[in-house]
Chains A and B, each alone.
Chain A
Amino acid sequence: MSWVSKTLNSTLGRKVLMALTGLFLILFLVVHLAGNLQLLIPDGGEAFNKYAATMANNPFIKVVSIGNFAFILLHVIYSIILSRHNKKSRPVGYSITKASSNSTWASRNMGILGTLLLIFILVHLKGFYYEVKFGSIPMTSYEGVEFKDVFAIVSAAYSNVLYVAFYVLSMGFLAFHLSHGFASAFQTLGLNHVKYSPLIRKVGLVFSILIPALFALIPLVMFFQN
């Protein structure tokens, strides 16, 4: 084995891949949210549809989107590899554990939370990404230029109470995943420092509440407006 593959296959190397891909996904969430918030502009979806078209045609965004898929895939693959390895490290378990006395629930259930997020991501991709890219969707025009009416698809989905409930619940899972993941990624990268770590933990907490809350707000508002 070369030193590169040896490093990436070590427990530390695998964790660094988790942390780097996780941090990328965190960055992606911010950009994604900025786009989604345009759904709330009361213009019948014009700003959002124009934005969606710009994103779909921009070559830089195309590269980033391929990267994003690759990173989600890597994050998931390594979460499976790590979880299996960790399970094998304790073949016989304890009859009683008081884990809540020494660690948070989210930190012990990253795998379950991640799996729930994966289900959400797949449903989400099927409903929006796949439909917009390959499905037949209604067109609309602004100033004589044709645009895909992505807003109509989103708005239809968000009038379904089950979909909205699923969305809001999933954002709850995201909040818990991030409540541990955000700060954890920095620790994994070795960035633990008396000056910065308290700040990272605070920013992580605010981020893990604010971002999922704003994501969840959009379908809720659109549902009640409909």
Chain B
Amino acid sequence: MKANSNLKRVLDSGKFAVTAELGPPASTDSKIINKKAKILKGSIDAFNVTDGQTAVVRMASWATCLIAKQQGLEPIVQMTTRDRNRIALQMDILGVAALGIKNILCLTGDHTSFGNHPKAKGVWDVDSIQLIRIVKKMRDENKFASGDEMDVSPSLYIGASANPFAEPFEFRVPRLAKKVAEGADFIQTQCIFNIQKFTEWMKIVCEKGLHTKVKILAGITPIKSIGAAKYMKNKVPGMDVPDSLIDRLESVPKENVSKEGIKIAVETIQKLQQVEGVAGIHLMAIEWEEIVPEIIKSAGLYPRP
């Protein structure tokens, strides 16, 4: 495989990897990107930039990646199939690789109806698994989806997502297997609050031997407030937030809720480190990037290799 990213290096060396999300601004404010990048620097192996998450217009993932990359961090460009057909996707893949981005996360994307332009037409010319195959074919066979050849192909480490909590549960491992078969090198999962269910899923993943074929980074979201926890439980489809977690947050004095949230995140990381097949974590501290270094240090994952 031609990919040679820092993330790949860390994962291949068997070290527990750490990635984190850097939310792009809904403006041209590059200062905020630099600020977030400086905070994350040193605490992570690579950062993700979301691509129109919840179908809200924000700065393009690739552009935000390039700005933050100047601070010396390694980007993972996220690419959804919601807004681009196979022609535009391949053009962007060529572009991001030529600009020195070495990791890509292939996603389906949230539905347009959730965002701030609900009248927009969703594209979905291809799905995330078909996108994985396209990137792999470009990288490993020097070929476009059409079969046409190219001389210099993109060296990208290919990522995909997995949600162990969405229904139908029994379909979630076969779906992961499909992503792996089509070329996913690493996986970043949905935020894990229900550790028991995640462990159950990982057990099946390991029984199928998938953990030896793909590096799985477990998704972690520190919870800042009880409102945020309830919102994720009730409003974000595909999320599994157990009542026990909300009870725990409600049991501490109001001013300590975010501290408790951080504590839960650290405990979760430590528990997940013990789960067979988990190769690292992916921190999604939504609009709370400044908390990442503290969590990484408390979890004993600092300094980074």
Partners in one complex: no
Interface, chain A (partner B; CB < 8 A): none
Interface residues of B, Cβ cutoff 8 Å to A: none
